[in-house]
Amino acid sequence: MNQDLSILQLVLGASWVVQLVMLLLLLVSITSWAAIFRKLFALRRVNALNDDFEREFWSGTSLNDLFSAAAQNAKTAGPMERIFASGMREYQKLRERRITDAGTLLDGARRAMRASYQRELDAVETNLSFLASVGSVSPYVGLFGTVWGIMHAFTGLGALQQVTLATVAPGIAEALVATALGLFAAIPAVVAFNRFARDIDRVAIKLETFIEEFSNILQRNLGAHSASGH
């Protein structure tokens, strides 16, 4: 009886609906793991690029040199560098229009950085909703397969004269494999979602802090220009 109840035998012996549910959950699990690894490497890259730019930013390099470097590295730049570039671009455009009001210049740069920040955050959060869906839906899909399998097993038992544990166990065991697969798909997705959500919150806080710090630097520069102008 133990040989008959191997996982492979249970899968092959299940009804076609339960097999379809198992196949779907297996595909979802594989896709989920692929998304987890992609997101893991993407977040590591984002953090590394942000750290590199932050070191360069505070190393004493002039804003114009940083902006030139950011323009050249547009495709390979990290979120922080792109936010900086969008702020500087707007700031310089307003300066070229002969706008001298410090408040207008600062507001323009800040708005540009906020818009860039939102785009960067949307890009970083890619696939997060997929993991949340896998984590919440997979157990129910597995449960549907189990319920269907048990119904199918009991329907088959109705035609038998004598029902024993040996006749009931295989059908129920086949059905329960679907629930196990549902949990196998859901648990890693939930754990990964929670971990990535926490990591993305840290990235968001870091970017918001940078926007505030860069805004303060621009404000000081504008104050220095206006003082020298007077």
Q: What is the pLDDT of residues 26-68, one digit of tens each?
A: 999 999 999 999 999 999 999 999 999 999 999 988 899 999 9
Residue 4: band (very low, low, confident or very high) from pLDDT cuts 50, 70, 90: very low
Cα separations (Å) of 65 from 57, 62, 216? 10, 5, 19
Residue 152: band (very low, low, confident or very high) from pLDDT cuts 50, 70, 90: confident
- Domain carrying residue 116: 7-229
Domains identified in the chain, total number: 1
Residue 230: band (very low, low, confident or very high) from pLDDT cuts 50, 70, 90: very low
Tokens of 84: 């900086």
Query: What does the pLDDT read at residue 167?
Result: 64
List, for residues 77-119, the tens digit of each pLDDT value. 999 999 999 999 999 999 888 887 888 999 999 999 999 999 9
Query: What does the pLDDT read at residue 156?
Result: 67
Is residue 181 within 8 A of residue 29, CB to CB? The reply is: yes
In a domain, residue 28? The reply is yes
In a domain, residue 150? The reply is yes
In a domain, residue 195? The reply is yes
Question: DSSP H helical segments within 16-127, as ranges?
Answer: 16-57, 63-72, 79-96, 102-124
In a domain, residue 2? The reply is no
CA distance 47 to 200: 10
In a domain, residue 1? The reply is no
